[in-house]
Structures are given as C-alpha cells and as structure tokens.
Amino acid sequence: MFSYLDNIISFLKRGVSLFFLCLIFAVVTGCHHKGNTISPLTQEGKPALRRIAVVPFQQIIPEEDNTKTVRCPLCGAIFLTEKSPEDAEKVVEGIFVQQLEKQRKFNLIPPERVNGIYRRISAESFKTALLEILKKVGSELEVDGIVVGYVYRYRERRGRSYSVEKPASVAFDIHLVRVSDGTLIWKGTFDRTQSSLLENIFLISSFFKHRGRWATAEELTKEGMEKIMETFPQGR
C-alpha cells in the first residue's frame, strides 16, 4: 500500500518539476520586448534591394503643450510622447545605420547628399503627400529603397544602473519605401519603458542581457533596434 502511494507521490513530483521546467524554458526562449511590433509589409516575399538612402530621422512632438500623444506622419500609428533631448533622433538614426551596415548587403548613399536633396524637394513640395516626396527623393538619388524614421520618446533613466528614480523609455518607428512605386514595404516599431523583472517576468531575457541593471536610453534603443532589424528586407 505504502509502495503504491510512494509511486504516485513520486510521479506527481516529477510532473510538477517538468511543468516548471517547461514554463521557464518557454519564458526564456519565447519572450519578446513588451510593445515591440515588427511588421514586414510585403506580399511578394522580401523585395530585392541594392541601393538605399536614409533621410534624416525626425523627432515628433505634440503641437500643443497639454497633448501627450502624437501620430506617425507616415502610417498614422499613435504613440505616447515625452520631452526628449534635441539630438535624440540623431542617436536613433546612427544606431539604425550601424545595424544596416553590419548586414553588408546594401549600398548606402552618403548622408550629406541625401539630406540636401531631401530638404530641397520637401521645400518645393510643401503640399505634396509624404510618400510622394519620399518617392521623388529616391528617384533623384536613383535608389531602390528609401528609409525614414521618427522618434516619439527618448527619456534617459534618472538614477544609477542598479537604482533608478525613473527608468529609460524609448519609442520610435522606421519605414522602408520602395521607390519604384512608392509602396511602404516594411515597418519596424519599438515602444518600451524598462520595468523590473518582478513587474514583468516575460522580460527575463532582457533582464539577463543587461545583467540586472537599469539600461540607459541608448542601450534600450540598441536592444530594440536589433530586434526589429531581424525582419528588415534582404539585399541582393
């Protein structure tokens, strides 16, 4: 009788242990950043791209002081906003370009040339739709794709790496437009405020990546950029 009960208890213990092992495995391997959305917008597979231009990223701020949300000028998505450093868009753009150059699959047009043509065409086409402006810029630069990015929130952490008063918070999105027909073929979005492991167990992979520290806004941006670039269309 006791042997029979011992077998049942042993079986249950093994089952419980297996359940928790599976749960931990699923959390570690299956979680992504909260609010991280990656949207490859093409129905014909990954488009073949060779030459790409990156127009200057822009920081989007509310038109009114009491407004706490802003809308993406290109896709219309809504984001919570917050006052950010003046150079936040340059930081995010620089991290994106670094990730793009790592792939070594594209010919990037020098930024000075892109910026000059973009400013001129934007000034000449004041009432023209944004997608049409990007298409014109891309056509003049003779590129296959043109990238534009927007920064909505770039809040630096307040405090130290192991003790913060306010954590870092970052929100941005990046779009890739096919120049031949002006179609938006890819969008990568990152919107996250760092939280502790106790607040969100599903961020355990990020917790270990930062070694239990509170990340800076730049570190948070790099982490998000790595994730969204996993689906960036391939070059040819």
Give yes or no for residue 67 having a pLDDT over 90: no
State the pTM of this model.
0.74
- Note the pLDDT tens digit of each residue in 1-21: 545 445 444 544 444 444 443
The per-residue pLDDT for 188 is 96
With cut-offs at 50, 70 and 90, classify the pLDDT of residue 32.
very low
DSSP string for the chain = -HHHHHHHHHHHHHHHHHHHHHHHHHHHHH---TT-EEEE--SSSSPPB-EEEEPPPEE---SSTT--EEE-TTT--EEE-----TTHHHHHHHHHHHHHHHHT--EEPPHHHHHHHHHHHHHHTTTS-HHHHHHHHHHHHT-SEEEEEEEEEEEPPEEETTEEEE--EEEEEEEEEETTTTEEEEEEEEEEE---TTT-GGGHHHHHHTTTPPPPHHHHHHHHHHHHGGGSPPB-
The per-residue pLDDT for 163 is 57
The per-residue pLDDT for 182 is 92
